[in-house]
Structure 1
Amino acid sequence: MFTWFKRKQHNGYLAIQAGTGLLSHAELSWQNGRPNLASCVSRQEDGDSAKSWGVFGGSPVPVGVVLSAGEYQLLPIDAPPVPPDEMKMAVRWKIKDQIEYPVDDATVDVIRLESGAEASGKLLAVVAHNRVLKKYMELAERAHVNLVAIDIPELAQRNIAALLETPDRVLALLSFTPQGGLLTVTRNGELCFHRRLECNPVELMQQDAERRTVVFDRLALELQRSLDHIERQHSGWRLDKIMLAPPPVVPGMADYLRQQLYLPLELADLTALFPSQLPDDADTLAACWFALGGALRREDKAL
């Protein structure tokens, strides 16, 4: 996503998920085309953020930050009919009336959606206020962190989905983290669809069984509507199943969704992807979920 610095050749990558009261990170390298996870840790963020980030400082390993949900916007748009080198400028002009601050105060990037022949030319404009990005750039400088990119959760989850996909098949991946629920649909490593779901597993754990059932009902309905929308928009695509990851921290959620959805729901086997250093604790894994996906980041493709 937002990249300002040319990444020097390095086999490792570290991603930080911040802004949720927790400081979560994952570091990995690639060996023979497979990710080798070196660490995956979450802890309470120190009041002095630069001090917290200091543990990542002084290392040549490139670092990326995954923004929290409230720190950016995703705006679906039709691709402007301009050459690739003019795309971002054209998108800035197109979305200027859709944001609540002057477009000159925004940093804009673009994701081209994998949409097939039936709905080509669809883009997602990724918009963040300059002060949000400046905050992380200054924090990295104070902590001597080799910051090279700033990412978003939707692309972090896409990176994990790419490891779970079957070539040329469509994968729906559903996650629940302290930020809520996120459904992504991907094909051949590219994002096709995304939807935020209002379901905080930490808060839901504190509810009684009756309240949980109400939330489960609403969640199942939102998922079903999303799946129906995808099949209407892309009649040539076939969704065989939904994968759920990281492991749900709310008892009964997976079983309830299995009963309500017409597609099979499977728990993703993350230990097959990351045989070592994966947290055993479901809460820690959920907190590190987007950091884990961010650490899988490869160089962005050109539009």
Structure 2
Amino acid sequence: MAFWHKARKKDGWLALSAGAAGVTAAVVRRAADTKAGVKPAVLAAAQHPGSRAEAAGLVARIGKEFDAAEHLCSSVLVPGEYQLLVLEAPNVPVAEMKTAVGWKLKDMIDFPVLEATIDVLDIPVAPNGPAHNHQVFAVAARNGIIEALQNLYVEAKVDLAAIDIPEIAQRNISALLEPEGRGLAMLAFDEHGGLLTVTFRGELYLARRMDIALGQVEGPQEQRQQLYDRIALELQRSLDNFERQFQYVAVSKLVLAPTGSASLHDYLSANLYLPVDLLDLDSVFDFDKVPELRDAAQQARFFTVLGGGLRDEGAVA
């Protein structure tokens, strides 16, 4: 999933995310054969605080520190910079899909479709399922936002190869954890809020946002009960709706991405019908070169860019 993609370069992906508080980055090298049991290696990671106005300088700094010219580089958008919607797939050839989706979006997004950069991600249908149930994810961002991001990387002298979204970064991690023939739900939190995804056979089927930030999840004990009740209720409703819509996808469990403590995991384990696992990214990645990422709090900070770094180097979408 990318708004665009350039030709392949050299050694793994350098994924960056430029937010209001600074820039986070990680370099990830995937094994040639992911089924061989070799973990993707994290070669470097950094987080530099700063304002949005300082982003180009921070990206340039990371580009020098990590020798960006030796890697493919992607930038992961932050919530608010794009809209993600689900709609019925237009009955058109694949080559015409983006254009047809654009016309469907004209009454669904809060800016003119002619001012939008659009990409489309397929949601697979059930084997022998009716064609009218075919849906797609549509990603729309203002042209001005995409152009400003491109200009930021030009100013930083970092060659940007792809633009991603956090939902796809989370899918990339979830896909590595799926039990054979079963779907996987994953819940992650960062400073922008919560994100629930469901993947099956490496594809994204569900992406739902929660207006609850990581700082709230691990906030004062006296505030947690009501917040955790709300999270559990939203999870239950979302997963129940998913099961009704995708009856052919059996969700095996919920995986909770690192938050820095185990309190939410303990609560969800006691209150959800699904098994709940607390993810340690050390089981997914080789952290030998960045051992500080074995810490759960650090994993929470770098979760999105680590997922962004898991792009398939041969993929163009």
> Could you say which TM-score interval applies, normalised by the shorter chain?
over 0.9
Match of 1:239 among 246, 251, 262: 251
The CA deviation at 1:205 is: 3.7
Q: Tell which deviates more after alignment, 25-34 or 130-139.
A: 25-34
Give me the whole-angstrom Cα distance separating, in 2, the residues matched to 1:5 and 1:181.
28
Matches within 5 A, 1:39-78: 39-45=44-50, 47-55=53-61, 56-57=63-64, 59-78=69-88
The CA deviation at 1:50 is: 1.5
Indicate the residue corresponding to 1:176 in structure 2.
189
Alignment-mate amino acid for residue 287 of structure 1: R
Question: 1:260 and 1:27, CA in 2 relative to 1: closer, same or farther beyond 3 A?
Answer: same
Kept in 1: contact 2:9–2:71 (CA 8 A): no
Give me the whole-angstrom Cα distance separating, in 2, the residues matched to 1:188 and 1:20.
34
Report the count of equivalent residues: 300
Indicate the residue corresponding to 2:177 in structure 1.
164
Matches within 5 A, 1:190-229: 190-207=203-220, 209-229=221-241
* C-alpha distance after superposition, 1:77-127 (max 9, x if no partner): 111111111111111111111112111110000011134245741001100
The CA deviation at 1:167 is: 2.7
Give me the whole-angstrom Cα distance separating, in 1, the residues matched to 2:262 and 2:108.
39
Indicate the residue corresponding to 1:131 in structure 2.
144
Alignment-mate amino acid for residue 246 of structure 2: H
Indicate the residue corresponding to 2:21 in structure 1.
21
Q: Which runs of 5+ in 1 are unaligned?
A: none
Give me the whole-angstrom Cα distance separating, in 1, the residues matched to 2:197 and 2:303.
14
Give me the whole-angstrom Cα distance separating, in 2, the residues matched to 1:251 and 1:189.
27
Alignment-mate amino acid for residue 254 of structure 1: H
Question: 1:183 and 1:152, CA in 2 relative to 1: closer, same or farther beyond 3 A?
Answer: same
Alpha-carbon RMSD:
1.9
Q: Tell which deviates more after alignment, 6-15 or 224-233.
A: 6-15
State, as a whole percentage, how many aligned pairs show the same letter: 40
The CA deviation at 1:286 is: 1.5
Which stretches of structure 1, 4 residues or longer, exceed 6 Å deviation after superposition? none
Kept in 2: contact 1:15–1:64 (CA 8 A): yes
Kept in 2: contact 1:176–1:200 (CA 8 A): yes
Alignment-mate amino acid for residue 307 of structure 2: G
For the pair 1:109 / 2:123, whether they are aligned, the reply is: no
Indicate the residue corresponding to 2:31 in structure 1.
31
Indicate the residue corresponding to 1:283 in structure 2.
297
The CA deviation at 1:166 is: 2.0
Alignment-mate amino acid for residue 115 of structure 2: D
* C-alpha distance after superposition, 1:25-60 (max 9, x if no partner): 110113342411101222313552221111215624
TM-score w.r.t. length of structure 1: 0.92
Give me the whole-angstrom Cα distance separating, in 2, the residues matched to 1:140 and 1:301.
20
Alignment-mate amino acid for residue 29 of structure 1: R
Give me the whole-angstrom Cα distance separating, in 1, the residues matched to 2:195 and 2:3.
24
Question: 1:138 and 1:301, CA in 2 relative to 1: closer, same or farther beyond 3 A?
Answer: closer
Match of 1:99 among 95, 109, 123: 109
The CA deviation at 1:259 is: 1.0
Kept in 2: contact 1:72–1:128 (CA 8 A): yes
Q: Which runs of 5+ in 2 are unaligned?
A: none
Give me the whole-angstrom Cα distance separating, in 2, the residues matched to 1:236 and 1:134.
40
Kept in 2: contact 1:178–1:286 (CA 8 A): no
Alignment-mate amino acid for residue 19 of structure 1: G
Alignment-mate amino acid for residue 197 of structure 1: M
Give me the whole-angstrom Cα distance separating, in 1, the residues matched to 2:73 and 2:107.
33
Indicate the residue corresponding to 1:248 in structure 2.
259
Give me the whole-angstrom Cα distance separating, in 2, the residues matched to 1:54 and 1:132.
19
Q: Tell which deviates more after alignment, 158-167 or 267-276.
A: 267-276
Match of 1:261 among 235, 256, 272: 272
Alignment-mate amino acid for residue 11 of structure 1: D
Question: 1:73 and 1:180, CA in 2 relative to 1: closer, same or farther beyond 3 A?
Answer: same
Q: Tell which deviates more after alignment, 2-11 or 214-223.
A: 2-11
